[in-house]
Amino acid sequence: MTAGRPGRPASAMRRLGRASIIVASILFLCLFLVVPLASVFVEAFRQGAHAFVESIDQPEAMAAIRLTLLVAVITVPLNVVFGLAAAWAMTRFQFRGKALLGALIDLPLSVSPVVSGLLYVLMFGAQGWFGPWLATHGVKIIFAVPGLVLATIFITLPFVARELIPLMQAQGSEEEEVARVLGASGLQTFFRVTLPNIRWALLYGVLLCNARAMGEFGAVSVVSGHIRGLTTTMPLEVEMRYNEYNYVGAFAIASLLALLALLTLALKSALEWRYQAAENHR
């Protein structure tokens, strides 16, 4: 509150302005965020908890959940490795094409997910560049799990790297240099100096990466082929059930995804808080 501060008389106009901005933003959030989110849960339980449980406890629903977890389990560690390597390269080395690497890391964020999916169809699909060769060797990528994983990796590529780059830039390399001069090996320097310094940002990146990997729709929709029980992830299963007028079933799975989002949000806030504490700690 600045009302009582000298030199800034509290005018009624200013107070009114402030109140209306706050109210407007809260109303907007309620209308476009809270109400729809709540409606997901309301719809999921419209016919009671029993119907809810029943619509999830079905082979294709369980398969979708398993597939979604599988995709995330493969995607997230790969992106951690890539994110660390990219952030290291961007912040610790000088090389030609550094700006290009930076732009490429951001590319998946600027390309429409549907287009990203199509890129993979174009490369690995039956009529794609590598399609015939893959077909003769019996490798199926499009309309199969590998395609889903590839598309998800593409989409989630920037998340870890983008969390790490600004932090590692700000921290500089002096601590690592001191460690080296003190006799630490490359691995010792990484595990004892670099990793502890970036752990909260890394965790934060993993969280965002995971949320996106589980929730991605556009790109996986293109490469999935919608084969029930085999290539449908949770978001795809939601769409299929909805199209079949199975509203309770669709919203039941949607509510699981919404729960994941809420969980991510909570963890993210906790991490941000911890991260701030760690920053102040430095």
Q: The tokens of 89 are what?
A: 């390269």
Tell me: does residue 97 bind another protein (CB under 8 A). Answer: no
Please say which residue, 106 or 177, places its beta carbon nearer to another protein: 177
Interface residue with another protein, options 185, 243, 269, 276 (CB under 8 A)? 185
Q: Is-contact 56 224, C-beta < 8 A?
A: no
Q: The tokens of 112 are what?
A: 């429409």
130 three-state secondary structure:
coil
Please say which residue, 57 or 177, places its beta carbon nearer to another protein: 177
Q: What is the closest distance, in whole angstroms, from the C-beta atom of residue 79 to another protein in the complex?
A: 24
- 28-33: Cβ within 8 A, 24+ apart: none
- 45-52: Cβ within 8 A, 24+ apart: 46/247, 46/248, 46/251, 47/248, 51/248, 52/248, 52/252, 52/255
Q: What is the closest distance, in whole angstroms, from the C-beta atom of residue 84 to another protein in the complex?
A: 18
Tell me: does residue 115 bind another protein (CB under 8 A). Answer: no
Tell me: does residue 281 bind another protein (CB under 8 A). Answer: yes
Q: What is the closest distance, in whole angstroms, from the C-beta atom of residue 177 to another protein in the complex?
A: 5
Please say which residue, 1 or 170, places its beta carbon nearer to another protein: 170
CA distance 107 to 154: 9
Closest by CA to 249, choosing from 273, 232, 268, is 232
Q: Residue count of the chain, please give it.
A: 282
Tell me: does residue 25 bind another protein (CB under 8 A). Answer: no
* Window contacting another protein (CB under 8 A); options: 61-69, 106-114, 184-192, 239-247: 184-192
Tell me: does residue 193 bind another protein (CB under 8 A). Answer: yes
Interface residue with another protein, options 196, 243, 259, 265 (CB under 8 A)? 196
The residues binding another protein (CB under 8 A) are 174-175, 177-185, 188, 192-193, 196-197, 278, 280-282
